[in-house]
Amino acid sequence: MINKYVVRQPIKDVNNQILGYEILYDAEKDSLYNPSSDYAAADSISGFLAQNNEKIFNEKITFMNFTSNLLFKNTPMIFSRRNLVIQIEDNVIMHPLSMTLIQKFRKVGYQFAINDFQFAPRYFGLMEYIDYIRLNFKDGHKSSLSNIVKMGKGFQKTCIAYGIDTKEKYDMAVEMGVDYFQGSYVAGILTTKAHKADYLQSNFFQLVVEITKDEPDVTAIEEIISRDASLSYALLKMVNSAYFAQRKRTSSIRQALVTVGLGQLKQWIYLLSFNQNEDPSASEEILKVSFLRANFCAELWEYTKDMPIAKSEAYLMGMFSTLGNLMNAPLTDIMKEIPVADEVKAALLYHEGKCGLLYDLVLSYEKADWKYITECAQQLGIPTHVIAQIYFDCVDDVNVIWESLLNPYEKDDLLGEAIEESAGISQVGLNKLQKSM
């Protein structure tokens, strides 16, 4: 365990597509960010990250700050050069051996980013080795930030605005022509999935309502899924995935429901929301955020005291937090129709009660609001030293399950026929559906 908060914060473009993540730490002292950090503290954090290497470096680029001390110790070598971007600040650039250090890591394939670029010769001397220029929109002045962006564009460097904590700062960065954005405001932006039909009438929403009942009706669930081609395809694709690794191919909706089980279907119901007419990357982002919040809420619940809801309800609270984005409708209207505990509704809508504290802790962790994380954890009785490990374990769980559920156990040309038989759709419609998945 590590007595620090460690979180990855997304870096997105103007279309809300994720470039990668920056690893953030809660303390200005005793961290990889601070050149005056003692070796023990820096080693503690780098050791924690090394232990969670595979959980952090999945398929996206990861940005991490390194001091000159850590560069001399070859700490970046612990991590994958394909996905790591080494961030450096003025304390590294001013070091007499900075050029030697940067060239050494550059030769073996690492990329570099400069934090808080300055118009000084020592910065321009490094430009041929730098891939990203990061601009501090939390403290920087508009005119100087704009000049840096123009200079960066002239050198064909990718510009990242960080410290974007308000819409005004986001709009200002967009106006300047910044390539990517990062901050608490950006972390809170989720893609909205538009549905053609009114969400109350959609088969997916009716399925959510049915599956969250105290005693779900299997026949009703089968009927809802069977009349919808997308739901049928998604369920059969999931049940025939590597996660379940069945020897015999599942070819009917009823058989699929028996294999998955209503408990797991309730957990993974968002996977059935995949729509053939939507951007897959946008769908992936909102679904992964949903599952991560759900897992994080459920695992943190284990450390709470006197919570008025069960662990399974904590999971649903995290998952349903994005339902407004998923259905493209006000969450207040949606929650009127969903049969979940009143405490869960109060938490999601009004941030009230102990459930509201748990939900706020999860949201605060996404935004790296260290002070409020500590306040929530203390009120809930959660030891602060376990949170970082729980978080990255949940990140890993989501990625592992995501990959195994979406990858087929074996190729099967008969899957389309099974879907057509179960859902009663035409061959023309089936062909369109298969091409879009």
Question: Half-sphere exposure of 56 toward its Cβ, with a 13 Å CA cutoff?
Answer: 28
Q: Mean pLDDT in the chain?
A: 84
Which ranges in 118-249 belong to alpha helices (H)?
Answer: 121-124, 142-154, 167-176, 184-187, 203-211, 218-226, 229-239
Token pair recorded at residue 176: 């300047």
Q: What percentage of the chain carries pLDDT values higher than 90?
A: 52
Do residues 265 and 211 make contact, with C-beta atoms less than 8 angstroms apart?
A: yes
Q: Tell me the pLDDT band of 221, cut-offs 50, 70 and 90.
A: very high
Q: Which of helix, strand or coil describes residue 173?
A: helix
Which ranges in 38-141 belong to alpha helices (H)?
Answer: 39-51, 53-56, 68-72, 90-93, 98-107, 121-124
Question: Half-sphere exposure of 395 toward its Cβ, with a 13 Å CA cutoff?
Answer: 23
Beta strand segments in 137-256, E? 158-162, 180-181
Residue type, 316: L
Q: Which residue pairs from 242-248 have beta carbons closer than 8 angstroms and sit at least 24 positions apart in sequence? A: 242/403, 242/404, 242/405, 242/407, 242/408, 242/409, 243/401, 243/404, 243/405, 244/409, 245/409, 246/409
Phi, psi of 10 (to 5 degrees): -70, 145
Q: Tell me the pLDDT band of 217, cut-offs 50, 70 and 90.
A: very high
Tell me what pLDDT residue 8 has. 87
Token pair recorded at residue 23: 């690893």
Do residues 162 and 147 make contact, with C-beta atoms less than 8 angstroms apart?
A: no
Token pair recorded at residue 142: 């508009």
> Which domains are assigned to the chain?
6-187 (3.20.20.450), 199-278+407-436 (no CATH), 280-401 (no CATH)
Tell me what pLDDT residue 274 has. 62
Q: Can you say whether residue 330 is alpha, beta or left, with left for phi > 0 and alpha for psi between -120 and 50 degrees?
A: beta
Do residues 2 and 48 make contact, with C-beta atoms less than 8 angstroms apart?
A: yes
DSSP per residue, 386-413 = GHHHHHHHHHHHHHHHHHHHHSBSS--T
Residue type, 434: Q
Whether the predicted pLDDT of 413 surpasses 80:
no
Q: Which of helix, strand or coil describes residue 381?
A: coil
Do residues 106 and 97 make contact, with C-beta atoms less than 8 angstroms apart?
A: no
End-to-end CA distance of the chain, in Å?
A: 41
Tell me what pLDDT residue 365 has. 95
Residue 215 to residues 127, 207, 212, 262, 283, Cα–Cα distance (Å): 63, 13, 8, 10, 29
C-alpha triplet 363, 315, 209: angle, nearest 5°? 110
Q: What is the pLDDT of residues 367-380, one digit of tens each?
A: 889 999 999 999 99
Tell me what pLDDT residue 2 has. 56
Q: What is the pLDDT of residues 231-274, one digit of tens each?
A: 888 898 889 888 888 878 888 999 999 999 988 898 888 888 76
Q: What is the pLDDT of residues 315-333, one digit of tens each?
A: 999 999 998 888 878 899 8
Q: Is the pTM of this model over 0.75?
A: yes
Phi, psi of 24 (to 5 degrees): -115, 150
More confident residue, 299 or 401: 299
Phi, psi of 261 (to 5 degrees): 85, 145
Q: What is the pLDDT of residues 155-174, one digit of tens each?
A: 999 999 999 999 999 999 99
Beta strand segments in 125-175, E? 132-136, 158-162
What residues contact residue 139 under an 8 Å CB cut-off, 6+ apart? 163
